[in-house]
Amino acid sequence: MLLTLDLGNTNLTAGVFRGEELVCEFRMATDRTRTGDQYAIDLLAMMQLKGISPADVHGAIVGSVVPSLDAALCKAVRTVIGRDPLMVGPGIKSGINIRIDNPAQLGADLLVGGVAAVQKYGAPCIVWDLGTATTVSVIDEKGVFRGGAIMPGVATSLDSLISRASLLPNIRLEAPAKVIGTNSIDSMRSGAVFGTAAMVDGMCDRIEAELGTTAKVIVTGGLGAEIAACCHRDTQYDSRLLLDGLRILYERNAK
């Protein structure tokens, strides 16, 4: 079995694969103060809770956007399964031609998502990852990674709004019944959900105009399902896109 670890700014998402089958998935909070030993304890406990024996795990791969935790997470994996993980970074064989100003600066999450999107849905495609940050990755019809966009995440924007506006309450993020809110909570939900969905639609229109062709739109991330359901465009929500991308990258580099 293969252990895949997607280390984000808010959560560490882990998946265990048997071939292409995702046997189990679990999440832990990203904590920059924890040591490798502490992550190892949590990782081992979660695997055992899911019925996974470390002895059955033959390899691991890590995609990280938190460089300060890379060493700790590698130590944790080594402690739990007895071998070092493959790290997503410069030099890894991805099968994608990266044509941005400095390919070495491409975030691991963007590369992983792009690899999975092309493999699963084909090119050209536009990949939206709605997490702590909202990121957009654009892969053209030749499978070339052309670049993208980065903006504040939905929850990040809401947290900033609430912290700066004394009269606005904390809300649960979900689509209201209508776009025109008649109270503060529904108005905030409308702006967060419908506003983000409209941004997805509008940005995809602009991206396709630059590409000169239509493209498949894939959405992932913790808030992706709620947003994708409100888009006017045909969008594909894929909750396991990054875990699949890590698996694909491991398979391409295993030898």
How many domains does the structure of the chain reveal?
Answer: 2
Tens digit of pLDDT per residue, the chain (255 long)? 999 999 999 999 999 999 999 999 999 999 999 999 999 999 999 999 999 999 999 999 999 999 999 999 999 999 999 999 999 998 899 999 999 999 989 999 999 999 999 999 999 999 999 988 999 999 999 999 999 999 999 988 888 888 888 777 788 888 999 999 999 999 999 999 999 999 999 999 999 999 999 999 999 998 899 999 999 999 999 999 999 999 999 999 986
Within a 10 A sphere around the Cβ of 239, how many other Cβ atoms? 14
Residue 109 belongs to a domain: yes
CA atoms within 13 A on the CB side of 145: 29
- In the residue annotation, 201 being an active-site residue is answered as no
The residue out of 61, 87, 113 marking a domain boundary is: 87
Residues 238 and 197 in one domain: yes
Predicted TM-score (pTM) of this structure: 0.92
Residues 123 and 74 in one domain: no
Say which CATH number the domain at 160 has: 3.30.420.40
Q: Which domain holds residue 180?
A: 97-245
Q: Which of 109, 140, 238, 244 is labelled catalytic?
A: 109
pLDDT attached to residue 222: 82
> Which amino acid does the sequence have at 29?
A
Residue 92 belongs to a domain: no
